[in-house]
Chain A
């Protein structure tokens, strides 16, 4: 029982990082039909931003806090450049964008290797995140709580802006029916670019969170991207609630199957569970209802 409880914060923190990473993927995939394989590298860039601010700019413990907005801005700009420069020419060819962005991800990984070196580096958590608190016999790392809080704030902000803001309404309109949105005077291209930039920015924030829980290396993004995509598959496209539930479900499934079967079998178990899940709900937990056949 103790072991089960101890896993709860671990599962929640993994789920929170997955959620931050998956949010951007979910909306770009749902809205534009674009699979961005370079999304994982935006995580990596976010993590290295925290490292660079700490080790190079000498910000010490405050680096993590400063890194949050900086990483968001850096990766959002990179996402914007990727979308405007490359991806927008390939709408309607999702499999091609997948391969295209994989090429971009290889380039970014090698760039990171050349700039930061191949070995992993560490980001020291600030002193106020170093300790932990014991609740009901469960040890809660402050850094894990911080990550969960970060994800909660991000989800709340996104949910609010989708529901209330003008750009959120535009986004929903494009998500439901791109052509109808376009003829209604919504600047579809700008909405796409904005969605892509915000999604990429969130990946940067997720990267800063990753820097708090472990060492970072040039290929850190590729180890999370597969799981983040699975969150999208399970959660359903373009749905915030689906992504939230799926991220924490996958985080828990990962954490608990590791506990029972060991880390190496856990991924196989997760894969089998997802295939079984898709037998019942091939569209994921929630999906936007359309009358399209395909």
Chain B
């Protein structure tokens, strides 16, 4: 590519990431890392939400928080690693379908077959479905399945130095193939109507109010845990190496590191977050269909991270909740208008605010305390 530019993935000067640089540490409370403050504040906000929202709204928030987990992963791969993943719906879908398979079997009486299989003329439980009778296997699959596929794909393409737009296109092709596969293998996946009617998980009836609230806290807890773990990792030497690979892969290679494993591992971590989110999404919403995991939903996940701020894990999570809220609010009043607004949002965010909501917050913060920002 003749116009290749080492900082293509990042918008503007990002040699020092505002949320992780040492200068950013001297904030409100000296000695307390800002990440800890954000985490505590987020935990408090998430904890009071059930008191403020009715059951329907809380259900919607649970759903947005699932997407927020994916967005945190996308911020790691795209914002920090420069890998634009247009196929995270695949990893989300793998986690979701694994969980949905287990819950479908749990809802089916012993010895009987899930209803959609009966309609498709299946006579005994397919081999692929059998292990999902075990909850332990399912929980492992939720992490291992997306992780293994991402690791394999990442290793295969990064070791041959396929990157940038090529990588993005391959991801999108993967998402397209995955959705077509899900629709086509109707006897295994329920086809385009997906897997629905999933009332029980681990013996708990999910339709009760208490279960819905419990589910909300589970999802919120996972979001905080994934966010905390990945934020910590990004603050470590590994995180610095990842940003270095994003900004100048060749220089990192000359310094003696192997960018292949740095990128492949970040991509894998990102996929695992999406898988976990998918597995939480299914009990939270009671449905998974190919329309939730294909090309368009995958790219919507990227928009969430872009809106919140691709470089900021916190921003990406907030972006997911903001986009979900906006979509619901807007679709309730003007049905067809949302797609226009979403398209326009893409153009506006990328063109005018490539650092997203987090970028606004950072420039606001730097204006309030002029001592800090040295660059």
B348-362, CB under 8 A of A: which get 1 and which 0? 001100100000000
- Name which residue of chain B comes closest to A105, CB basis: B343
The reply to whether A96 and B354 form a contact with Cβ atoms under 8 Å apart is yes
Q: Which size class do B's interface residues fall under? A: 35 or more
Question: Chain B contacts of A114 at CB under 8 A?
Answer: 336
The reply to whether A86 and B351 form a contact with Cβ atoms under 8 Å apart is yes
9 interchain residue pairs of minimum CB distance = A264-B184, A103-B346, A106-B343, A107-B343, A33-B3, A267-B177, A282-B160, A110-B339, A103-B347
Which of A154-185 touch B at CB < 8 Å? Answer: 175-178
Instruction: Kindly state the separation between the CA atoms of A107 and B344 in the bound complex, as whole angstroms.
Output: 7
* Contact (A35, B249) CB under 8 Å given A93-B11, A110-B336: no
Minimum C-beta distance from A224 to chain B (A): 11
Q: Using a Cβ cutoff of 8 Å, how many contacts connect chains A and B?
A: 154
Which one, B173, B302, B339, contacts A226 given CB within 8 A? B173
19 further A-B pairs in the complex, CB-CB below 8 A; given A35-B165, A106-B346: A31-B2, A33-B165, A93-B8, A95-B165, A99-B299, A103-B343, A103-B344, A105-B343, A106-B343, A222-B295, A226-B172, A233-B166, A265-B184, A267-B173, A267-B176, A268-B181, A274-B170, A278-B156, A290-B2
- Most B CB atoms within 10 A — which of A31, A89, A226, A233? A226
Interface of B is mostly: helix
- Most B CB atoms within 10 A — which of A31, A32, A102? A102
Which of A26-70 touch B at CB < 8 Å? Answer: 29-33, 35
Instruction: Kindly state the separation between the CA atoms of A106 and B295 in the bound complex, as whole angstroms.
Output: 12
Instruction: Kindly state the separation between the CA atoms of A222 and B3 in the bound complex, as whole angstroms.
Output: 26
Question: Chain B contacts of A230 at CB under 8 A?
Answer: 169, 173
Question: Chain A contacts of B9 at CB under 8 A?
Answer: 95
Question: Chain A contacts of B166 at CB under 8 A?
Answer: 233
The reply to whether B180 and A263 form a contact with Cβ atoms under 8 Å apart is yes
Which one, B153, B183, B250, contacts A294 given CB within 8 A? B250
Question: Chain B contacts of A263 at CB under 8 A?
Answer: 180, 184
Question: Chain A contacts of B161 at CB under 8 A?
Answer: 282
* Contact (A226, B176) CB under 8 Å given A89-B351, A282-B161: yes
The reply to whether A100 and B184 form a contact with Cβ atoms under 8 Å apart is no
Which one, A104, A110, A268, A274, contacts B347 given CB within 8 A? A104
Which of A100-152 touch B at CB < 8 Å? Answer: 100, 102-107, 109-110, 113-114
The reply to whether A100 and B168 form a contact with Cβ atoms under 8 Å apart is no
The reply to whether A95 and B170 form a contact with Cβ atoms under 8 Å apart is no
- Name which residue of chain A comes closest to B177, CB basis: A267
B340 at the interface (CB under 8 A from A): yes
B120-159, CB under 8 A of A: which get 1 and which 0? 0000000000000000000000000000000001001100
A76 at the interface (CB under 8 A from B): no
Minimum C-beta distance from B169 to chain A (A): 4
Which one, B156, B177, B306, contacts A268 given CB within 8 A? B177
Which residues of A line the B interface, CB within 8 A? 29-33, 35, 86, 89-96, 98-100, 102-107, 109-110, 113-114, 175-178, 222, 226, 229-230, 232-233, 237, 262-265, 267-268, 270-271, 274-275, 278-279, 282, 288, 290, 292-294
Question: Chain B contacts of A288 at CB under 8 A?
Answer: 2
Question: Chain A contacts of B339 at CB under 8 A?
Answer: 106-107, 109-110, 113
Minimum C-beta distance from A170 to chain B (A): 14
The reply to whether B177 and A95 form a contact with Cβ atoms under 8 Å apart is no
B50 at the interface (CB under 8 A from A): no
* Contact (A102, B346) CB under 8 Å given A92-B5, A110-B340, A282-B160: yes
Question: Chain B contacts of A30 at CB under 8 A?
Answer: 1-2
A-B contact pairs, 11 of them (CB 8 A): A86-B351, A93-B5, A98-B84, A102-B299, A106-B342, A107-B340, A110-B339, A233-B166, A263-B184, A290-B2, A294-B250
Which one, B2, B84, B156, contacts A33 given CB within 8 A? B2
Which one, B11, B153, B177, B295, contacts A96 given CB within 8 A? B11
The reply to whether A264 and B181 form a contact with Cβ atoms under 8 Å apart is yes
Instruction: Kindly state the separation between the CA atoms of A262 and B186 in the bound complex, as whole angstroms.
Output: 12
The reply to whether B170 and A275 form a contact with Cβ atoms under 8 Å apart is yes
Instruction: Kindly state the separation between the CA atoms of A31 and B2 in the bound complex, as whole angstroms.
Output: 7
Instruction: Kindly state the separation between the CA atoms of A232 and B169 in the bound complex, as whole angstroms.
Output: 10
B234-257, CB under 8 A of A: which get 1 and which 0? 000000000000000110000000
The reply to whether B165 and A98 form a contact with Cβ atoms under 8 Å apart is yes
Minimum C-beta distance from A14 to chain B (A): 15
